[in-house]
């Protein structure tokens, strides 16, 4: 393994001079730096980042803490953040929590012990106290879900988005609308508030028997839609409010050979290729993934460069809008 000593011997200079040159020390001249770097490259020298971290520095890693990457939203966010950080010489370290706060705590410990330069996090509903204590030690940004006391946040206007989607169904003439979502996370609470707000704007009451609340995953989406379709009378439309819930619901509807939109209108959450190709095309909320990920990544880099306090009294908040994409899965109910 090539060390600083090998480079120093080749150039007939001290090890300390080589070390300072590679660290871009201001007291080392440009010509010396260039000679050292050229020799290091020729010999195949690789910087020992672990040793640098042990000496008290931070690594060139930025952590991304998310529940999973099964959701296309999180996988796309990871890719875009990786691209953003790579351009600035940082590398993405992905940690998956499964929304388990004990796993989340352990993953946070690992990231902080690795001296990550920063963290982008999608926190669980009730993080452990240690998780939050560790997070406050590192420049960080919250993505999608928000815990106000934790600081800077990049998210979406969830309430407005679901309100708009529900309003569209009400304007089509639907009154018995099934709702599948959660009230576990801040995002789920806002989405349900938007659903209720749309009914209130029409001076209508939500039929709570058509509301399914639970974990925002594929299985819950499929099972909830099965229960809603079995009701008599069953809903004339269903709105799903997470990427994985939408996937489970759409798969179940196709398996049951339900005619969409003649027998049932549907609005999903998240927009990718399969939503366009599914059945008559799924009316859905297109999420501002690129805007969120890029804005979040650039803000974190800015905070790291400027030394902005991780816990500011005036946290930075950025809210991006979603767009309702209307396709063939929505139409007036049969009785209209």
The CATH number of the domain holding residue 132 is 3.40.50.2300
pLDDT attached to residue 53 = 46
Residues 98, 68: Cα–Cα separation, whole Å? 6
Summarised one tens digit per residue, pLDDT across range 72-84 is 899 999 999 999 9
* Averaged pLDDT, 156-165: 97
State whether 151 and 164 are in the same domain. Answer: no
Residue 52 reports pLDDT greater than 60: no
Summarised one tens digit per residue, pLDDT across range 283-322 is 999 999 999 999 999 999 999 988 877 666 789 999 999 9
Residue 10 reports pLDDT greater than 60: yes
HSE of 222, CA atoms in CB hemisphere, 13 A: 10
Percentage of residues in the chain having pLDDT higher than 90: 73
State whether 254 and 162 are in the same domain. Answer: yes
State whether 39 and 112 are in the same domain. Answer: no
Residue 51 reports pLDDT greater than 70: no
How far, in Å, are 60, 74, 145, 294, 311 from residue 314 at the CA level?
A: 28, 27, 18, 21, 9
Residue 229 reports pLDDT greater than 60: yes
pLDDT attached to residue 47 = 60
In a domain, 240, yes or no: yes
Q: Does the CA dihedral 18-23-29-30 come out positive or negative?
A: positive
How far, in Å, are 157, 182, 189, 294 from residue 200 at the CA level?
A: 18, 20, 16, 35
**Helices (H) and strands (E) in the chain — how many of each?**
13, 12
State whether 165 and 256 are in the same domain. Answer: yes
In a domain, 329, yes or no: no
State whether 166 and 259 are in the same domain. Answer: yes
State whether 140 and 177 are in the same domain. Answer: no
State whether 177 and 239 are in the same domain. Answer: yes
State whether 20 and 125 are in the same domain. Answer: no
pLDDT attached to residue 72 = 87
pLDDT attached to residue 40 = 86
Residue 1 reports pLDDT greater than 80: no
pLDDT attached to residue 107 = 94
In a domain, 268, yes or no: yes
Summarised one tens digit per residue, pLDDT across range 185-221 is 999 999 999 999 999 999 999 999 999 999 999 999 9
Mean of the per-residue pLDDT values of the chain: 91
In a domain, 102, yes or no: yes
In a domain, 190, yes or no: yes
The pLDDT confidence band at residue 119, using thresholds 50, 70 and 90, is very high
The burial of 325, by beta-carbon neighbours within 10 Å (0-12 exposed, 13-18 middle, 19 or more buried), is given as middle
3-class state of residue 134 by DSSP: helix
pLDDT attached to residue 335 = 57
The pLDDT confidence band at residue 101, using thresholds 50, 70 and 90, is very high
The burial of 104, by beta-carbon neighbours within 10 Å (0-12 exposed, 13-18 middle, 19 or more buried), is given as buried
State whether 147 and 184 are in the same domain. Answer: no
pLDDT attached to residue 71 = 85
In a domain, 237, yes or no: yes
Name 333's bridge partners: none
Q: Residue 34: give the domain boundaries.
A: 4-47
In a domain, 19, yes or no: yes
State whether 246 and 192 are in the same domain. Answer: yes
Summarised one tens digit per residue, pLDDT across range 123-150 is 999 999 999 999 988 999 999 999 988 9
Q: Which of 11-15, 76-80, 329-333 is the least confident region?
A: 11-15
State whether 139 and 110 are in the same domain. Answer: yes
| Domains in the chain, number | 3
In a domain, 53, yes or no: no
Q: Which residue has the higher pLDDT, 266 or 46?
A: 266
The pLDDT confidence band at residue 50, using thresholds 50, 70 and 90, is very low
State whether 209 and 299 are in the same domain. Answer: no
Alpha-carbon 296 to chain mean position = 10
Which residues lie closer than 8 Å to 259 by C-beta, 6 or more apart? none
Of 31, 82, 90, nearest in space to 59 by CA: 90
pLDDT attached to residue 70 = 86
């Amino acid at each position: 393994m090539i060390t600083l000593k090998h480079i120093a011997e080749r150039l007939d200079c001290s090890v300390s001079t080589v070390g300072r040159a590679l660290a871009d020390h201001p007291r080392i001249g440009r010509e010396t730096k260039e000679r050292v770097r050229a020799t290091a490259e020729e010999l195949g020298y690789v910087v020992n980042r672990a040793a640098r971290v042990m000496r008290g520095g931070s690594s060139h890693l930025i952590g991304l803490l998310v529940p999973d990457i099964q959701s296309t939203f999180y996988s796309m966010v990871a890719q875009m953040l990786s691209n953003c950080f790579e351009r600035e010489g940082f590398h993405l370290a992905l940690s998956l929590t499964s929304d388990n706060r004990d796993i989340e705590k352990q993953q946070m410990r690992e990231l902080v012990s690795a001296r990550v330069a920063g963290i982008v996090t999608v926190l669980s509903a009730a993080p452990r106290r240690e998780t939050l204590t560790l997070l406050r030690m590192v420049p960080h940004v919250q993505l999608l879900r928000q815990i106000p006391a934790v600081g800077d946040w990049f998210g979406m206007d969830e309430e407005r988005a679901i309100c708009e989607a529900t309003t569209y169904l009400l304007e089509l003439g639907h009154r018995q609308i099934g709702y599948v979502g959660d009230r576990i996370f801040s995002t789920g609470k806002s989405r349900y508030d938007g659903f209720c707000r749309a009914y209130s704007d029409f001076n209508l009451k939500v039929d709570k028997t058509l509301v399914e609340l639970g974990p925002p995953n594929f299985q819950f989406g499929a099972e909830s839609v099965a229960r809603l379709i079995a009701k008599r009378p069953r809903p004339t439309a269903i709105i799903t409010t997470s990427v994985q819930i939408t996937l489970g619901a759409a798969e179940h509807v196709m398996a049951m050979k339900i005619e969409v939109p003649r027998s049932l209108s549907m609005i999903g959450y998240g927009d990718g290729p399969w939503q366009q190709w599914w059945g008559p095309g799924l009316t859905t909320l297109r999420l501002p993934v690129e805007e969120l990920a890029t804005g979040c990544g650039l803000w974190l880099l800015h905070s790291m460069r400027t030394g902005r306090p991780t816990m500011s009294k005036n946290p930075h908040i950025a809210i991006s809008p979603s767009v309702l994409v209307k396709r063939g899965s929505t139409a007036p109910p049969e009785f209209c």
